[in-house]
Amino acid sequence: MTQINPHYQKLQAGYLFPEIGRRVKEFSAQNPQAKVIRLGIGDVVLPLPEAVRSAIKKATDELGDPKTFRGYGPEQGYDFLREAIAQNDFQARGAKIEADEIFVSDGSKCDCGNIQEIFSLDSRVAVVDPVYPVYVDTNVMAGRSGHYQDGRYANFVYMPATAENNFKPAFPKEKVDLIYLCSPANPTGTVLDKKDLEGWVAFAKKHEAIILFDAAYEAFITDDSLPRSIFEIPGAREVAIEFRSFSKTAGFTGTRCAFTAIPKDLFAKNEKGEKVSVHALWHRRHCTKFNGVSYPIQRGAEAVYSAQGKKEVTSLIHYYMENARLILAGLQQTGLQAFGGIHAPYVWLKTPNGMKSWDFFDLLLSKSHVVGTPGAGFGPSGEGYFRLSAFGFRENILEALSRIKNY
Amino acid sequence: MTQINPHYQKLQAGYLFPEIGRRVKEFSAQNPQAKVIRLGIGDVVLPLPEAVRSAIKKATDELGDPKTFRGYGPEQGYDFLREAIAQNDFQARGAKIEADEIFVSDGSKCDCGNIQEIFSLDSRVAVVDPVYPVYVDTNVMAGRSGHYQDGRYANFVYMPATAENNFKPAFPKEKVDLIYLCSPANPTGTVLDKKDLEGWVAFAKKHEAIILFDAAYEAFITDDSLPRSIFEIPGAREVAIEFRSFSKTAGFTGTRCAFTAIPKDLFAKNEKGEKVSVHALWHRRHCTKFNGVSYPIQRGAEAVYSAQGKKEVTSLIHYYMENARLILAGLQQTGLQAFGGIHAPYVWLKTPNGMKSWDFFDLLLSKSHVVGTPGAGFGPSGEGYFRLSAFGFRENILEALSRIKNY
């Protein structure tokens, strides 16, 4: 009988969000009158911008005319979108990234999950703890970890980020090859500043490691002096890959478009010790296993960079960041210790009296009918913390806060 | 320095279609007045059906209203689409596939390429020769092959399909675990009948192998008694996975939507020899590395099954199949031996006087200004053959045939 990939069986069965879903469903079944407010999953609620919708519809019409019909597009994305990205997201901020260093995809989850394929299975992986589970799980599936014990997989290097170190993980002491960093960070809502990133770039250079930098939340940074891209840091072109997404920025979670920037100055080595272009490897991977993003959706993404698109996106972000401000202030008023929420749409709170994060989840659900995400679900250093998302309608955020305060 | 995945360096540099592009570009530069007709890549040219476009636009409008906005959808696809697929593509033909056995994706290339991940790296892979290169390349990348020599990778089992065996590959003599089959076949344009598929299902059952069945061209089958799905064969639910796509059927090559059917009766084994559900493994893979297909595009795919959608799709298919009929008849009139083209949009011709397929490519390009695909690009048993695609405008097909006849 055909054998399965044995590493899948190391994965922990209860993925975080399905388990949350199960508990909410059970609670709602027992309390059908309770109006549950969900601030758990980081999913947007406001409409897709008008500029984006118009562009999608216009492009769809083009597909109805044999003269403007488009079949297979370039796997890496159309030039019109790659150029808009390079110019607006990188060059406009002094980060040297060219259009042909951009790979357009249907989601950052895919890119963050697939990127490890082009590296050796012997690569040592470092992740921040707590962390977005996709970095960890995809490396487990590939076979880079040992077994799971006490909330951690053997062979991975975990870098704790807690209130004690101001959510700025220390450099690993072990030799590592692939370092996953996320800033503004999911789940802690905290951000790395220029000096932090300079430190990481220098570390990666010194230890010949590659930084996999997830900047999915860069649009929520409110202080313009903070870096939005790792490529704003000199030298980063030789050590980093960056992941970006339209999901949270422009309301694309159901529309699907993202991109990855891989500089041509980034190299890894082969078995003979010769330098190999990482850009070329990912290009080969992308062309072999992917066929490009839907043409109308790429036109929609392009419209994010139009004058009207920028205006609409700014207004979406302001809305969510006002939510974040209200959550942070509201929690602090109740005496809870809370972090993040200033340059990110997540607030990370310390559970009262050292309560376990799943216990706090159950308490908040049963008493306030509010759903959040238990910190322990993001890694062992998330224990004792809890994530609230600012992606919600204002009235629900206010109602949730009022219930939490009253309780 | 971080090490690369060493298997990428086994891949052959000159991927088929880029090499074709290079030669056409060179020819056009030297002969700027030549009107080149491209019947090489299998890409559709006719407009996306009106029913599909309307549905995409309507769904895009829904995303503009907070009441009907949709964020993250289910990774496996929305129920409305999975149900339409299960009912129309399977149950209506007596194939027992349920909606929850369908996984919607953004392309068959992705699914065919990614499916191998859930199986052991020790799995022995069997492919038809000539074959769609993605099956081969993705297994090379994963490390299931040895090195490339004389047109083949060591460790893979190649099953020749040539005029000598009527393009019906013999069962492998070696023990194999994963068998890639494609019917109607790309590139030969030939089809497996019910008896052939019954033979493969019995073989897979006896030898405990899994069939990865690519039915991307099933819509082009013109004889209703031929199976369109492997699941029309009793017992196939225990041995097969099927890949389908809207690309060729409904003009979706640039719009991107496909699906994979994995029956819950399909099992592989773990290291202890225990049975493991393949459906559950793929579900885990899909949820961890993929975030679903764009909502408007899924609504567009759903519209393929509406009364108007079916009518429009039928008319697209008739158009291309009339092209195929003309190509087949035209080539036969010139005395060339040609195959396929009856239940598939590809005609597979034998090059005259045993000419090498790349030489025939150059000859046809220089003398008739017609681009096709050299058979050798699909595997060593494709040497001496040549593929012409029926995906083109009628006037171009007729013009190409007239040029070939005149030469």
Cβ distance B63 to A41 less than 8 Å, yes or no, reads no
Which residue of chain A comes nearest to B53, CA vs CA? A60
* Closest Cβ–Cβ partner in B63, B118, B393 for A48: B63
Mean pLDDT in residue range A188-209: 98
| Chain B interface disruption, residue of A1, A2, A139, A396, most B CBs within 10 A | A2
CA of A276 to nearest chain B CA: how many angstroms apart? Answer: 8
Alpha-carbon torsion (B59, B63, B65, B70), positive or negative: positive
With contacts defined as CB-CB under 8 Å, which chain B residues touch A293?
A: 106, 256
Q: Cα dist. B155→A88, A118, B144, B147, B269 in Å?
A: 48, 21, 7, 9, 21
Token pair in block for residue A142: 């590939």
CA of A379 to nearest chain B CA: how many angstroms apart? Answer: 16
Is residue B3 in a domain?
no
CA of B65 to nearest chain A CA: how many angstroms apart? Answer: 6
Is residue A85 in a domain?
yes
Residues B312 and B260 reside in one and the same domain? no
Look up the ipTM and state it: 0.97
Tell me the pLDDT tens digit for each residue of A15-54.
Answer: 788 789 889 999 999 999 999 999 988 899 999 999 999 9
| Residue with the two structure tokens 């492998």 | B172
Alpha helix stretches (DSSP H) within A334-385: 357-368
Distance linking the first and last C-alpha atoms of chain A: 57
Q: Cα dist. A180→A140, A159, A191, A276, B277 in Å?
A: 14, 10, 14, 21, 31
Cβ distance A291 to B106 less than 8 Å, yes or no, reads yes
With contacts defined as CB-CB under 8 Å, which chain A residues touch B61?
A: 53, 57
Examine residue B66 and say whether the peptide bond preceding it is cis (omega within 30 degrees of 0).
Answer: no
Residues A227 and A242 reside in one and the same domain? yes
Cβ distance B63 to A256 less than 8 Å, yes or no, reads no
Chain-centre distance for alpha carbon B346? 12
pLDDT given at position A150: 86
Tell me the pLDDT tens digit for each residue of A60-86.
Answer: 999 999 999 999 999 999 999 999 999
With contacts defined as CB-CB under 8 Å, which chain B residues touch A270?
A: 3-4, 6, 9
Residue B57 belongs to what domain range? 53-306
* Residue (of B389, B375, B388, B385) closest to B131 by Cα position: B375
Cβ distance A63 to B45 less than 8 Å, yes or no, reads no
Phi/psi at B348 (5° precision): -120, 110
Q: Which residues of B271-304 are buried (b: 16+ CB within 10 A; e: fewer)?
A: eeeeebbbbebbbbbbbbbbbbbbbbbbbbbbbb
pLDDT given at position A14: 64
Give residue A335's identity as a one-letter amino acid code: G
* Closest Cβ–Cβ partner in B47, B63, B66 for A66: B47
pLDDT given at position A177: 98
Residues B141 and B23 reside in one and the same domain? no
* Closest Cβ–Cβ partner in B11, B118, B289 for A114: B289
Alpha-carbon torsion (A153, A156, A162, A165), positive or negative: positive
Q: What is the CATH number of the domain that holds B312?
A: 3.90.1150.10
With contacts defined as CB-CB under 8 Å, which chain A residues touch B295?
A: 254-255
With contacts defined as CB-CB under 8 Å, which chain B residues touch A296?
A: 56, 255, 296-297
Cβ distance A141 to B64 less than 8 Å, yes or no, reads no
pLDDT given at position A160: 98
Tell how strand B370-371 and strand B373-374 pair up: unpaired
Distance (Å, rounded) from C-alpha B401 to C-alpha B407?
Answer: 10
Average pLDDT, chain A: 96
With contacts defined as CB-CB under 8 Å, which chain B residues touch A209?
A: 2
* Closest Cβ–Cβ partner in A6, A72, A123 for B270: A6
Phi/psi at A325 (5° precision): -60, -45
Tell me the pLDDT tens digit for each residue of A303-358.
Answer: 999 999 999 999 999 999 999 999 999 999 999 999 999 999 999 999 999 999 99
Tell how strand B346-350 and strand B385-389 pair up: antiparallel
* Closest Cβ–Cβ partner in B72, B118, B209 for A254: B72
Tell me the pLDDT tens digit for each residue of A208-263.
Answer: 999 999 999 999 999 999 999 999 999 999 999 999 999 999 999 999 999 999 99
| Residue with the two structure tokens 């076949």 | B185
Q: A234: phi > 0 → left, psi -120 to 50 → alpha, else beta; which?
A: beta
The pLDDT > 90 percentage for chain A reads: 96
| Chain B interface disruption, residue of A5, A269, A293, most B CBs within 10 A | A5
Distance (Å, rounded) from C-alpha B113 to C-alpha B133?
Answer: 10
Given B271, B306, B341, the domain boundary residue is: B306
In the predicted model, residues of chain B with pLDDT beneath 50 are none
Q: How many CA atoms lie within 13 A of B264 on its CB side?
A: 6
Q: Are B271 and B113 in contact (CB under 8 A)?
A: no
Residues A129 and A41 reside in one and the same domain? no
Which residue of chain A comes nearest to B116, CA vs CA? A5
pLDDT given at position B281: 97
Distance (Å, rounded) from C-alpha B152 to C-alpha B379?
Answer: 7
Residues B207 and B327 reside in one and the same domain? no
With contacts defined as CB-CB under 8 Å, which chain B residues touch A73?
A: 254
Contacts of A82 (CB under 8 A, 6+ apart): A76, A99, A100, A102, A104, A259
Residues B327 and B367 reside in one and the same domain? yes
Q: Are A299 and A51 in contact (CB under 8 A)?
A: no
Q: Are B65 and A47 in contact (CB under 8 A)?
A: yes
Q: DSSP string spanning A257-279?
A: -EEEE--TT-EEE-TTS-EEEHH
Distance (Å, rounded) from C-alpha A324 to C-alpha A346?
Answer: 7
Q: How many domains are contained in chain A? A: 2
Which residue of chain A comes nearest to B251, CA vs CA? A71
Cβ distance A120 to B72 less than 8 Å, yes or no, reads no
Cβ distance A73 to B254 less than 8 Å, yes or no, reads yes
Q: DSSP string spanning A103-167?
A: EEES-HHHHHHHGGGGB-TTPPEEEEES--HHHHHHHHHHT----EETTEETTPEEEE--GGGTT
Is residue A367 in a domain?
yes
Residues A174 and A197 reside in one and the same domain? yes
Is residue A195 in a domain?
yes
Taking one residue from A and the other from B, the number of pairs with CB-CB distance under 8 angstroms is 265
Cβ–Cβ contacts within 10 Å for residue B353, how many?
Answer: 7
Beta strands in A169-214 (DSSP E): 178-182, 210-214
With contacts defined as CB-CB under 8 Å, which chain A residues touch B269?
A: 1-4
Give residue B357's identity as a one-letter amino acid code: S
Distance (Å, rounded) from C-alpha B170 to C-alpha B129?
Answer: 11
DSSP A254: T
Residues A282 and A364 reside in one and the same domain? no
Helix or strand or coil: residue B241?
strand
Which residue of chain B comes nearest to A250, CA vs CA? B71
Cβ–Cβ contacts within 10 Å for residue B201, how many?
Answer: 22
pLDDT given at position B14: 64
Q: Cα dist. A377→A12, A358, A370, B70 in Å?
A: 11, 9, 17, 25
Residues A216 and A90 reside in one and the same domain? yes
* Closest Cβ–Cβ partner in A47, A63, A269 for B3: A269
Q: Which residues of B71-81 are buried (b: 16+ CB within 10 A; e: fewer)?
A: bbbebbbbeeb
Q: Are B266 and B240 in contact (CB under 8 A)?
A: yes
With contacts defined as CB-CB under 8 Å, which chain A residues touch B60?
A: 48, 53, 56-57, 60
* Closest Cβ–Cβ partner in A2, A269, A271 for B177: A2
pLDDT given at position A151: 87
Q: Are B156 and B127 in contact (CB under 8 A)?
A: yes
Which residue of chain A comes nearest to B41, CA vs CA? A72
Given A287, A306, A325, the domain boundary residue is: A306
Phi/psi at B117 (5° precision): -55, -30
Dihedral (C-alpha) B213, B263, A291, A261: value to the nearest 10 degrees? -140
Distance (Å, rounded) from C-alpha B152 to C-alpha B168?
Answer: 20
pTM for this structure? 0.97
pLDDT given at position A16: 81
Is residue B390 in a domain?
yes
Is residue A297 in a domain?
yes
Q: A179 has which bridge partners?
A: A126, A211
Residues A151 and A271 reside in one and the same domain? yes
Q: A88 has which bridge partners?
A: none
Is residue A1 in a domain?
no
Chain-centre distance for alpha carbon A311? 23
CA of A336 to nearest chain B CA: how many angstroms apart? Answer: 30
Q: What is the CATH number of the domain that holds A200?
A: 3.40.640.10
Cβ distance B254 to A292 less than 8 Å, yes or no, reads yes
Helix or strand holding residue B7 (H, E): none
Contacts of B115 (CB under 8 A, 6+ apart): B212, B241, B243, B260, B282
With contacts defined as CB-CB under 8 Å, which chain B residues touch A268?
A: 1-4
Residues B239 and B156 reside in one and the same domain? yes
Distance (Å, rounded) from C-alpha A201 to C-alpha A207?
Answer: 10
The pLDDT > 70 percentage for chain A reads: 100
With contacts defined as CB-CB under 8 Å, which chain A residues touch B285?
A: 8, 141
With contacts defined as CB-CB under 8 Å, which chain B residues touch A44?
A: 71
Helix or strand or coil: residue A314?
helix
Helix or strand holding residue B87 (H, E): none
Given B306, B332, B350, the domain boundary residue is: B306
Residues B255 and B343 reside in one and the same domain? no
